[in-house]
Structure 1
C-alpha cells in the first residue's frame, strides 16, 4: 500500500547528485499517484523547497517538501513528458501526458510564481472506471431518467455543481451512453476546453481562442457538421449559453456543465446571465446537480458527542476513525449525491417563464418528486455511509448547504 509518508521516504532516498534524479523523482511520484488513485498532484515551489501534495477523495494532502535546488529540474521533466517548451518558464503552459496506450491520461498545467514554476497534474480515471452511467452510483430513478432523456431528439441536459463535484466524469459517462445507444447510427461531436478524455465514436474538438475558436463560434460551426448529439464544455458566459440553448431547440441533444449550488439555482443563474425564460423552459431537458462526499471506512464508530453532529440528525451517524486500510484518513472512496430537476412539468415550466426565485422552483420540483441533494446528504449520514463533518466540509454552512431542520 502506498501512502504519503511511504512515498515521501522513497522520494527522500533518491540521490540529488544522480544525473537522472528528476526523471526518477517524476516516475516514482506519478506511479504512486496512479496507485492511490489521486485526482491531482501539486508541485509548489516555495522559499524552503518544492512542496508536493496530492488530492485523494477530494482532499489535498501533503507528501513533503523537497530540496529547492532540484525543483526546476523536476518541473522541466514534467514539461518534457507533456511536450511543452522547457525554455519558457515565464508563461502558463498546458499539455497532456500519456506514456503508453491504455495508461491513465494526465494533463499538466504550469504557472510562473514568485519562487519558480508551479505545476499541477490532473489524473483522469482509467477507461475502465466510471465509464458509463451505471458505474457512477446514482440512485436507480436518476439513472433511469438520465438514460431516457439521452434518448430524446433535442434538448439540453445541464450537469451542475461546484468545482470537484464530478461534473466532467458524469458528462463523459453521458457521452458514452449516447454513443452506446446509437450503435453507430448517430453523429456525436464535442467541443471542449480542454479535451480531457478521448472517447471512441465521438468527433472531439478543443477550443482555441488565439485562432478565434471559442465555445460560441466553435459550436455555431459544429452545428453545420450535421451533429445529432453534442457535448459542450462548461457554460461560462451568456454567448455560450445562448448558443447551447439554440442548438437544443433545433434538433440536437446537448450535454453541458455549469457551476451552481443546486439545480434550481442553476436556472436562476442562467436567467441572471440574460437567457430568455422561453429558452430555459423549452430548451432544457433537465438539470442534474451533484456533489461528492467521502465514504466512511468500516473502522468508523458511532457518534456519542452531540457536538460532533454539527446540527445534523443523530440517528445512525458515525464518525471517521482511521486505520491501515483507509491510510488513517477514516474514509475509502467517495459517494455521489445528486438531484435531478426535470423541466417537463407544466407548473414548474410556468414558474420558469415567470422568473420565479430559485427557492420557489426548488419547492415545486420537490412537490413533483425531486429528492433534493441536501436530503440525499442527510439520508447518507443516517445510513452511516458518511460523517456529519464530511457533509459540512462538502456543503458548508451557507445558503445552499444541508438544511438540518428539514
Structure 2
C-alpha cells in the first residue's frame, strides 16, 4: 500500500517548470534508475507504469527516504520519463558540467589544504569513494553514488586535462595531466592523472605536484644528512658523468632532482645550460630549459619519442641533461651515450638500493663493462620517505613500550643499545600536526660516490666486497643505517621506519662499524657485526 498520494498522470511532466533533480547532484539516479524514475524539484517522483516493485525503483526510493527527501510518486508512461530528461538535457547538462568542474576544483583545493600527495577516486558497483594520501596514509574523505563518481572522472579527464584526446574511456587505461594554471589551485604546479578499469568500475589516481617544491635548493631539509649533502654537492661539481637516483614511486626522487638542479643553476649564476627531458614536466626548475614528450599515441611511440628527445637535447649545446626516468633500453642507451660524450647527466630509475641501480641498468640491456665505469656512472643514490614525528605530541618509547610489540622491542634493544632511551613513537595527535601525530615525511637515503676500485669489484662479480669497500673505505652508510640514526634521534617512529626499510637489523646497520657512528650500540653486538663483515668479504671472494 502506498503511503503517499498518487498524483494524476501529467501529459508532459516537464511543462510544470520543475527542475529535474535526479540527473545530477545529491539526488542523482544511476543510469539504470533513470530509465524508470525521475525526481522533480516540486517533490514529484515520476515512476514508469508497472515498475513500482522494480529493484532500481525500490533502491532509489529507499535512498531518498534515507536522505530525508520527501517525494510523491506519480505513475506515467515510461517514454514520458525519457522525454522529461530530454527536455531538461540542454540547460541541465550544461549546468551539471559546470557544477562538476567546480566540484573538481574544490576537490583539488581541499587536497592542497591537507597537503595530500595523491587523490584516489574509486568507482565501485553502487558507490564512489574519494581518498587522500596524507603523510603516506590513505584517508577516506567522502562517499558518493556511483553516477556522481563517473561524472567526476569524466569531468577531470575530459574537461581539465591537456591531452590531445581528452575523451574519458572508463574501460581503458589512460594517462594525462592537468597543467592549465586557471584550473588549478595556486599551490599546485600540475597534476598527473592515471586511470584503470577495475572488476566493478574504475579508479583514477591524481598525483599533486606542488609549486613550492623549488623554493629551497638545500637537500638537507628533505632529510639528507650532512655527509649525503657533501657527496651530492660533489656530484653537482663534476662536469661529466651520470648520477642516478633510485627509489619506488612516491619516494621523492623528482623533488630531490629539482633541488639539485636548481642549486646547480644558482651556484653557476645562470651560466650553465640545463636541459630536461620529461614525460610529463613535473616541477618548474628556474633557469632550466624543460621539454616534454607530446602526442604519443602508444607506449612504443612514447618510447621512440623519448629517446629522440634525449638525442635532440644532446645537440642543443647542454652542460647538464636531466632525463626524467630511465625506463627502457632505448632511454637507458641514450642516457649512457650522453654521459659518455662529456655531459653531466641526472636521471632516476626504479631500483631497490643504490648498488641495485647497476643491476637494473644491465637488466635494461646495457653492457656491464660500460656501466661499471666511474667516469661514466659517477653517483648512485637510493631514497625512501618516512613519516616525521610531531615534536609536540610524540611519546617516549620506553614510557610507552606496551604499545610496541615484543619482537620489535628486542630488535631495537640490539640495534640501539643505550640510545633506545631517546627513541620515540607517534603520539595521539595535536593542533600542531592536525591530529596526525606526524608533520610530514623525511628522506632516508644511501649515496655512493663510485670510484675505480668499487667498480673493479662489481665487474668481477664481487658484490659483497664492493659493499664492504664502500662501507669501510668510503665511509658509506646504508639506507637502513640512516633510518636507524633517525629512530635513535627520536624523529622517526621505529614502526614507520620498518615499513620503509624492513626489519631494523644490526648486522646490516653496522657493516661500517669499524669507522664508528654518532651513537654506540650494545657492546655485545660488535663481534657479530665484525663477523658479518668478514662473511661479506668471503662471499665476495667465493663469487
**TM-score, length basis structure 1:** 0.86
Task: Map 1:79-228 to 2 at 5 A.
Answer: 79=157, 80-83=159-162, 85-86=166-167, 88-91=169-172, 92-100=174-182, 103-105=187-189, 106-127=191-212, 131-134=216-219, 135-208=221-294, 209-210=296-297, 213-228=304-319
In structure 1, the partner of 2:396 is 302
In structure 1, the partner of 2:477 is 371
> Match for 1:238 among 323, 326, 329?
329
**2: distance between equivalents of 1:55 and 1:86?**
27
**2: distance between equivalents of 1:36 and 1:177?**
28
In structure 2, the partner of 1:267 is 358
The Cα of 1:141 is off from its aligned counterpart by 2.3
Q: Secondary structure at the match of 2:244?
A: strand
Between stretches 325-334 and 227-236, larger displacement belongs to 325-334
In structure 2, the CA distance between the partners of 1:139 and 1:272, relative to structure 1 (3 Å rule), is same
In structure 2, the CA distance between the partners of 1:360 and 1:130, relative to structure 1 (3 Å rule), is farther
**2: distance between equivalents of 1:21 and 1:114?**
29
Give CA deviations for 1:110-167 in whole Å, capped at 9, x if unaligned.
3344444422211112235564234423212221221232122110111112222111
Q: Secondary structure at the match of 2:210?
A: coil
2:391 matched to 1:291? no
**2: distance between equivalents of 1:244 and 1:180?**
24
In structure 2, the partner of 1:61 is 139
**2: distance between equivalents of 1:310 and 1:47?**
46
Matched-pair contact (CA < 8 Å) for 2:162–2:177:
yes
For structure 2, list consecutive stretches of 5 or more residues without a partner in the other structure: 1-24, 29-94, 511-524, 530-543
**1: distance between equivalents of 2:131 and 2:123?**
12
Choose between structure 1 and 2: higher helix proportion: 2
Task: Map 1:31-50 to 2 at 5 A.
Answer: 31-50=109-128
Q: Secondary structure at the match of 1:38?
A: coil
Give CA deviations for 1:158-201 in whole Å, capped at 9, x if unaligned.
11122221111111222212322332322211111221123232
Q: How many residues end up aligned between the 2 structures?
A: 391
Matched-pair contact (CA < 8 Å) for 2:104–2:152:
yes
In structure 2, the partner of 1:10 is none
Matched-pair contact (CA < 8 Å) for 2:389–2:426:
yes
Higher relative contact order (CA 8 A, sep 6+): 1
Q: Secondary structure at the match of 1:352?
A: helix
The Cα of 1:300 is off from its aligned counterpart by 2.0
**1: distance between equivalents of 2:288 and 2:280?**
15
**2: distance between equivalents of 1:289 and 1:184?**
28
The Cα of 1:370 is off from its aligned counterpart by 1.1
For structure 1, list consecutive stretches of 5 or more residues without a partner in the other structure: 1-13
Q: Secondary structure at the match of 2:315?
A: helix
**1: distance between equivalents of 2:440 and 2:236?**
28
